[in-house]
Structure 1
Amino acid sequence: MQHTYRVTVQSLSAEDTVSEAGLTFDVTNHDEILGLVDRVAARQVLPKDEVAEFTIGLKLFSEVMLRHRREPLFAEFFPHFGAFMKRLKGGSEGGPPS
Structure 2
Amino acid sequence: MRERRYRITLEHLATASEGQPLHAPLSFEAGNHDDLFTIVSRLRGNGQFDSDTSAQLALGLKLFGEVILKNRKHPLFEEIGPALRDFIMKLKSQGKAAGAAQGEPAAE
Task: Please state which band the TM-score falls in when normalised by the shorter chain.
Answer: 0.7 to 0.9
Structure 2 residue aligned with 1:36, among 34, 39, 45?
A: 39
Distance in 1 (alpha carbons) for counterparts of 2:48 and 2:77: 25
Alpha-carbon deviations, 1:5-56, whole Å to 9, x = none? 1011111114443x3x221101110000001111111222222231111111
Give TM-score, length-normalised by structure 2: 0.74
Question: Secondary structure of the equivalent of 2:73?
Answer: coil
Identical-pair percentage: 34
Give 1:57 shift: 1.3
Aligned residues: 91
Counterparts of 1:39-54 in structure 2 under 5 Å? 39-54=42-57
Counterparts of 1:65-80 in structure 2 under 5 Å? 65-80=68-83
Give 1:85 shift: 1.2
Match of 2:62 in 1: 59
Gaps of 5+ in 2: 99-108
Give 1:81 shift: 0.9
Match of 2:3 in 1: 2
Aligned CA-pair RMSD: 1.8
Task: Tell which structure's C-alpha radius of gyration is larger.
Answer: 2
Off by >6 Å, runs of 4+ in structure 1: none
Give TM-score, length-normalised by structure 1: 0.81
Gaps of 5+ in 1: 91-95
